[in-house]
Amino acid sequence: MTRPRREVQRRRVHEDIVDYLLADIKGGVYKIGEELPSERDLMDEFQVGRPAIRESLLKLERMGVIETRPGVRARVCEPSVSPLLEEMGNVVGLDIQSREGQKTYQYARNFFENALVRIAAQNIDDNQLEKLRSLLERQKALGDRLTDLADVDVEFHEVIAAVCGNRLVIALFHNMSKWLVEQRMTTLAHPGQPDRAYEAHQLIYDALVAHDPERAEKAMTDHLEQVEEVYRSIVLQENSAKEGSP
């Protein structure tokens, strides 16, 4: 049987340049904080035009390997997964629109937060507790100012996540908070939910002050389950309204 012909794309030039520069960075040719050669020097080194060099540098920047600013040479930076997670945001934004996508990311959030609050209960220090106490005061004073409430809500949970001290976990958690921001805004807009969220945060805070992992995890679990239940009921009502509309 004769198979139909298929086209394959040749590897693009800028991908080879990225590989070479990555190898140089890994090998210590360019150390953290050091500048890469100028675009002109890189053009001469690789015998390519400026577009290929700029595309290579853009990819390295998206990978979190270098940082660029107008008018200065690209500089090697501390490795970070944050740019890659930022890039994931567009795909996640599509995935999370489905019911299954929501369940997937909510499950991941619950998994992370329950583990992180236990760690926090055992390791949180006075400065971090003071941050949480201050955030609780702000949350109580905000009333129904939705955007500000959502910001304080995110910050409260991120202070807890930061106690673990692991930059990968913290970066993942930070981006997960952004991916689920629509859920947060929707539930906080529900009547009575700001008060319930404040009360849940207070229970979590009290457990952290007591350095009680079991109590902290239960308070966090109850909080997240209540938020998920409210969100699910809102979405179901909206879907029913759409199905009933002519």
**Residue in the structure block whose two tokens are 């960075």:** 25
Token pair of 31 as six digits? 């150390």
Look at the pTM and tell me if it is higher than 0.95: no
Average pLDDT over residues 209-237: 92
> What gap in Å lies between CA 113 and CA 123, rounded to an integer?
15
Residue 166 — very low, low, confident or very high, per pLDDT cuts 50/70/90? very high
Token pair of 188 as six digits? 């906080």
> What gap in Å lies between CA 212 and CA 206, rounded to an integer?
9
211 pLDDT higher than 70: yes
% residues pLDDT > 90 (the chain):
57
Residue 8 — very low, low, confident or very high, per pLDDT cuts 50/70/90? very low
% residues pLDDT > 70 (the chain):
91
Cβ atoms < 10 Å from Cβ of 14: 20
Average pLDDT over residues 146-157: 93
Mapped onto helix, strand or coil, the DSSP state of residue 46 is helix
pLDDT value of position 149: 93
Q: What is the mean pLDDT of the chain?
A: 88
pLDDT, one tens digit per residue, over 103-130 is: 888 888 899 999 999 999 999 999 999 9
Token pair of 164 as six digits? 């673990």
pLDDT, one tens digit per residue, over 81-108 is: 777 777 777 777 777 777 787 788 888 8
pLDDT value of position 206: 98
Residue 5 — very low, low, confident or very high, per pLDDT cuts 50/70/90? low
Residue 175: CB partners within 8 Å, gap ≥ 6?
Answer: 82, 85, 86, 88, 89
51 pLDDT higher than 50: yes
- Could you give the C-alpha distances from 18 to 27, 59, 67, in angstroms and in order? 14, 8, 14
φ, ψ of residue 166 to 5 degrees: the values are: -100, 115
pLDDT, one tens digit per residue, over 12-40 is: 888 889 999 999 999 999 999 999 999 99
Coarse DSSP helix, strand, coil percentages of the chain, rounded to the nearest 5 percent:
70, 0, 25
66 pLDDT higher than 50: yes
154 pLDDT higher than 80: yes
> What gap in Å lies between CA 35 and CA 95, rounded to an integer?
38
